[in-house]
Structure 1
Amino acid sequence: MVDQLSWKVGGQQGEGIDSTGEIFAIALNRMGYYLYSYRHFSSRIKGGHTNNKIRVSTKQVRSISDDLDILVAFDQETIDVNAPELHEEGIIIADAKFNPVKSDEIKARMYAVPFTEIANELGTSLMKNMVAIGATSAVLGFDPEEYLEVVEEIFGRKGQKIVEKNMEAIRQGAEYFNKEAGGKIEALQLEKADGKRRMFMIANDAIGLGALAAGSRFMAAYPITPASEIMEYLIKKLPEFGGTVIQTEDEIAAATMAIGANYAGVRAFTASAGPGLSLKMEALGLAGMTEQPIVVIDTQRGGPSTGLPTKQEQSDLMAMIYGTHGEIPKIVMAPSTAEEAFYDTIQAFNLAEEYQCPVIVVTDLQLSLGKQTVEPLDYSKIDISRGKLDLNLEIPESEDKAYFKRYEVTEDGISPRVVPGMKNGIHHVTGVEHDETGKPSEVAANRQAQMDKRMRKLNNVQKRFETPVYKNAPHEEADILLVGYISTRGVIEEAMPRLEADGLKVNHAHIRLIHPFPSDELKPLINSAKKVVVVENNATGQLASLIKMNVGNAEKIHSLLKYDGNPFLPKEVHNKCKELF
């Protein structure tokens, strides 16, 4: 019996690869297994190779595995491309029309199952994916009826006849494998799961749910991979709560609409990827100058330009912090799990209103679209804070009938905030430098006072942030400190015990507040480590550069970089660290 295994299904886009992985994973999730999946897909609507690698475990996992146990192939390319991942006891389940692996180095066994033929006999070749699920269930020793609940949910709206046809395809796939291939494979039998029901979701859905829970009622966005699912989720959900989503003509309009809605008192946000973030930069400068809250979700992908729109990368870091012209206060935060993405999104709306500035929540494609098990969310943790905005405030009329001091110079840098329609709250709003009432001003002393006021906002952000750095630091003095952000958390967590088994003392720091940088939190860990390895998906070591700029100790810091479009594997982190000693 094994406590985890890795399963992959591959084929051409449009062949039902996504639904195959979805049905397989949801069924196992319902049994109580923990899952983590990563989709490799082409930037085409139809055609091009795609695969979905799903890790199944009896305990929490946050990364894809180094190798592969079961490969389900719907085309020859899947076999040729993915078979090298299989370990010696791994297997391939392929349609009968494909050829075996042509390499002496690959020892995995191949089982031919006539997916298409069985599906055609049932009425349509479209059900070949269900036949494959049935064959997989036979390999694992699962009862095909375990899939009934999921099949009814997915196909129930098409009628009971369609449900039964799909279930019959699963049953026949299992029956064929049991009869022709000898049934379950002992080396691939999973230990029994705990049977508990947990959520199974991508971080994009968690972000959408977090925005809803935070009280956001307006989203303006333009579709872009890998952020579109946030908009698609809220298009369905927001109207149920009196909100709306507007698909704008471009990213510039999305950002300015969100700023306008926030100015009117509505919690509003936008979401995009790197190319969209670039287009939003001038609008973010406007939000900084006019001190309007705005939440921006940046789901990083391969760049530059169109780059690798469906592949993993973490190369927007410097752009998020320094991309605007001029200097404005902004907050950049980075969840590392889907669960954190939910809570961080709520906190982002609070921080945006408390500090009256842009807040960027940064993810990457692996986190945004990688589906993972999430423990039940605790809605009692939700706290809504609107900062210095009080919609019931009675503003006294000033003696000289002057405008409201919307940009009043204050000790904490945060000015009183009003929204249109509040009596005696009239003020001027402009993107040029202005005085306390918002009227344009180029007076040098005023310019310095307003700049200093705006930048003072960031002084207390770190204290407001619950976990600026996630730490797993069992050693007072470590041989290696592993540092990462966003989706690299899983591979670092898996590399740690392997390195400990090699006799090394290893600590882990995962940076959750990117800007303002939590130097005081990170410095003791760096000072007490012999070497620091920063794990990130880009070519120039952007996170490592931030650490050197804010903490120092450059001579200790080593970069582990990957920028080929693929996520890290645990063995890559393990091997890199071993090379240092």
Structure 2
Amino acid sequence: MISQLSLKIGGQQGEGVESTDKIFSTALNRLGYYLYGYRHFSSRIKGGHTNNKIRISVKPIRAISDDLDILVAFDQETIDLNVHELRPGGVVVADAKFNPTLPEGIDARLFPVPITKIAEDLGTSLFKNMAASGAAWALLGLSLDVFNKAVEEEFGRKGPAVVEKNVEAVRQGAKHLLELAGGPLKEFELLPADGKQKLFMIGNDAIGLGAIAAGARFMAAYPITPASEIMEYLIKRLPKFGGTVIQTEDEIAAVTMALGANYGGVRSFTASAGPGLSLMMEAIGLSGMTETPLVIVNTQRGGPSTGLPTKQEQSDINQMIYGTHGEIPKVVIAPSTIEECFYDMVEAFNIAEVYQCPVIVVTDLQLSLGKQSAEPLDLSRVKIDRGALVTEVPPQEEGKLFKRYEFTESGISPRVLPGVKNGIHHVTGVEHDQEGRPSENPVNRKKMMDKRLKKLQNLRITNPIHVDAPNESPDILVIGMGSTGGTIDEARRRLAEEGITTNHITVRQIAPFPADLLIPHLQQAKKVLVIENNATGQLANQIKLHTGIHDKIQSFLKYDGNPFLPSHIYEACKGLN
């Protein structure tokens, strides 16, 4: 029996690949296995090759595997595009309808299961995803009972007849596979899982849940890949908490609606990707100038322009830091796990209100859409901090207004919500005095700029950098952000077996950049390798800019639309000069 394996299901988009993977993974999660998935899909509604790769383990995992044990193919294209990933002795389960063949030189076993025929005999080809799932499930040596329970929950709303036919498709798929294979394949039988309850979600769901826990009750957004699931998640759930989601006509409307709602006192946010964030820049500047809290989620994807809307990239770093014209205080937080997507949303709302500034929570496509196991969330860690919010204002002198932008030692001024007695003040996007009245006075301008910019001088989010530094003077310090953390750690384990010592840092606070925390680790390492999904080394350049250390830093960049695999990082570390 084995402790882990990797399985991929592929076919044409709209053919049921996603639902096949969903039920298959849900059943494994119920048994207590750790899962990590990656979804490859085209930027169209129907047609084009798509596949879901799922890694299954009895131990925690946070990376896609280098190779593949089982490939489930609905068409020949899936075999042709993915069979090279199969390890020697791997298995291809394919629909017999298209007369599947393996390319020459591939060491794998092909099992042509009559997937479409099973489905059509049951009344419709729609059942073929369940027939394929049953065949794949049989390879793992697991009981069909748990799988059938997941099927019942998925299709129960459609009535018992539909459930029964789906269960029968699963049974027949498993039966045909076992007949072709001559019984269970022992080398694919999984060890029992621990049976413990685990969350199984994508990062976008965790972000939506985190927003609810943080007290957000309004979201305005325009659909865009890979952020749309945040809005879809909250459309179903936010009304249960007295909240509202509005799908706007564009991202400009979305961000200004969120800004206005925050000004009114309702914790609000928007979510988008690079193209949408470009449209939000003027409103982000308005947030900074008016010192109005604003939370934005940026789910990075391939750019520029429309770019690769359904592919992995981390190329918005410069945009988030420097995109707005002029200079404002701005915070950029990069979660690296499902759990951090939840907790960081809570912290983002607190920071936005405490420091009265825009906060961007940045993920990447893999973290946003890759479904994976997560530990149960600790709601006792959720604390709400609304900062310098004033609820009672003493009467003002005649002719004077509330000093909403009062000069203070910390740079943080008292904030009042509309309707509070004696709290009347001006709000404008032009430079202003302490009461908000427009002012072009040069002395006032400098004082206001200094006031705003010094607010974040000492800001440190929770765990601004994750540090795994067991070695005092490592051969290599590997630095990354976002979804690369687990992949880096897998490569490090292989390097350790060869006597190469490594430390690892995941940068979570992108702005203001925590240079003082990084410098000691940079100084101790013999070499530094920065891993990032872009073409220009944006994270590496931030490190160089803020630390002044250049000579030992090298970049390993990947910008072909695919995420890093452990072998990629292993080879890059081995090849350092």
Relative to the length of structure 1, the TM-score reads: 0.98
Aligned to 2:236: 236
2:64 aligned partner, one-letter code: I
1:568 maps to what in 2?
564
Alignment of 1:60-459 (within 5 A): 60-390=60-390, 393-459=391-457
The offset of 1:99, in angstroms, is: 4.3
For each residue in 1:332-390, what CA deviation from the matched residue of structure 2 results, as whole angstroms up to 9, or x when unmatched?
00000111000000000000000000000000000000000011100011000000013
Is 1:28 the equivalent of 2:28?
Answer: yes
Counterpart contact for 2:11–2:51, Cα < 8 Å: yes
In the alignment, the residues of structure 2 paired with residue 273 and residue 208 of structure 1 have an alpha-carbon distance, to the nearest angstrom, of 15
CA contact (8 A) 2:79 2:102 kept: no
Deviation at 1:183, TM superposition (A): 2.2
CA RMSD across the alignment: 0.9
Q: 1:102 to 1:163 in 2, by over 3 A?
A: closer
Distance 2:564 2:362 in 1: 18
Question: Is residue 537 of structure 1 aligned with residue 519 of structure 2?
Answer: no
What secondary structure, in the 3-state scheme, does the structure 1 residue paired with 2:416 have?
A: coil
CA contact (8 A) 1:138 1:183 kept: no
Work out the CA distance in 2 between the residues paired with 1:153 and 1:559: 47
Distance 1:485 1:146 in 2: 37
Shift of 1:100: 4.5
Counterpart CA distance in 1 for 2:381 and 2:53 is: 33
Corresponding position: 1:527 with 2:523: yes
Q: Partners in 2 of 1:161 and 1:101 — Cα distance?
A: 35
Q: Which moved more, 1:429-438 or 1:188-197?
A: 188-197
* Aligned partner (choices 499, 505, 515) of residue 503 of structure 1: 499
| Contact in 2 for aligned 1:94/1:110 (Cα 8 Å) | yes
1:578 aligns with 2:574: yes
What secondary structure is seen at the aligned counterpart in 1 of 2:98? Answer: coil
- Aligned counterpart, 1:484: 480
Residues in 2 aligned to 1:354 and 1:208: alpha-carbon distance in whole angstroms: 21
Amino acid in the other structure paired with 1:221: A
8 A Cα contact 1:141 1:183, kept in partner: no
Map Cα deviations across residues 90-112 of structure 1 (whole Å, 9 max, x no partner). Answer: 10000113344453331111111
Q: Secondary structure at the match of 1:354?
A: helix
CA distance in 1, matches of 2:215, 2:138: 46
Gap runs ≥5 in structure 2: none
Query: Match of 1:489, SS?
Result: helix
Is the Cα contact below 8 Å between 2:97 and 2:115 reproduced in 1? no
CA separation in 2, counterparts of 1:117 and 1:260?
A: 56
Shifted more, 185-194 versus 251-260: the winner is 185-194
Residue 36 of structure 2 contacts residue 372 of structure 2 at CA under 8 Å; is this kept in 1? yes
Q: Deviations over 1:390-441 (max 9, x none)?
A: 3xx3211123340100000111010000011001100000000000000000
Q: Deviations over 1:151-187 (max 9, x none)?
A: 1111000001111110011111111112232122111
Q: Secondary structure at the match of 1:409?
A: coil
- Tell me the SS of whatever aligns to 1:446: helix
2:477 partner SS: strand
TM-superposed CA distance for 1:136, in Å, is 1.1
Give, in whole Å, the separation in 2 of the partners of 1:222 and 1:319. 19
Look up the equivalent residue of 1:210 and give its one-letter code.
Answer: G
User: How far did residue 189 of structure 1 move?
Assistant: 1.4
* Distance of 2:180 and 2:101 partners within structure 1: 20
Aligned position for 1:515? 511
State yes or no: 1:6 paired with 2:20: no
Q: Please give the alpha-carbon distance, in whole angstroms, between the structure 2 residues aligned to 1:107 and 1:550.
A: 50
- 1:546 matched to 2:512? The reply is no
**Does the 8 Å CA contact 2:301/2:310 hold for their aligned counterparts?**
yes
Provide the secondary structure at the position in 2 that maps to 1:97.
helix
Aligned to 1:478, what secondary structure does the other structure show?
Answer: coil
Query: Does the aligned pair in 2 maintain the 1:336–1:487 contact within 8 Å?
Result: yes
Residue 494 of structure 1 is matched in structure 2 by 490
Taking the aligned partners of 1:259 and 1:22, their CA distance within structure 2 comes to 36
* C-alpha separation in 2, matches of 1:228 and 1:530: 43
SS of the counterpart of 2:26? helix
- 2:75–2:100 Cα contact (<8 Å) kept: no
Provide the rounded CA distance (Å) in 2 between the counterparts of 1:500 and 1:552: 29
Instruction: Please tell me the residue identity of whatever aligns with 1:28.
Output: L
**Residues 127-162 of structure 1 deviation map (CA, whole Å, 9 limit, x = unaligned):** 111111111121111122221221111100000111
Displacement after TM superposition at 1:30 (Å): 0.4
- Residue 526 of structure 2 aligns to a residue whose secondary structure is strand
Length, aligned pairs only: 577
Distance between the aligned counterparts of 1:283 and 1:179, measured in 2? 63
Question: AA paired with 2:516?
Answer: D
> Is the contact between residue 76 and residue 101 of structure 2 (CA under 8 Å) also seen in structure 1?
no
1:139–1:183 contact (8 Å) kept in structure 2? no
Aligned equivalents of 2:469 and 2:432: distance in 1? Answer: 48
Q: Is 2:471 aligned against 1:475?
A: yes
| Alpha-carbon contact 2:302-2:315 (below 8 Å) kept | yes
AA of the residue aligned to 1:119? A
Q: Which amino acid aligns with 1:476?
A: E
CA distance in 2, matches of 1:103, 1:25: 29
CA distance in 1, matches of 2:179, 2:568: 40
Alignment check: 8 A CA contact 2:91 2:110 kept: yes
Matched residues, percent identical?
66
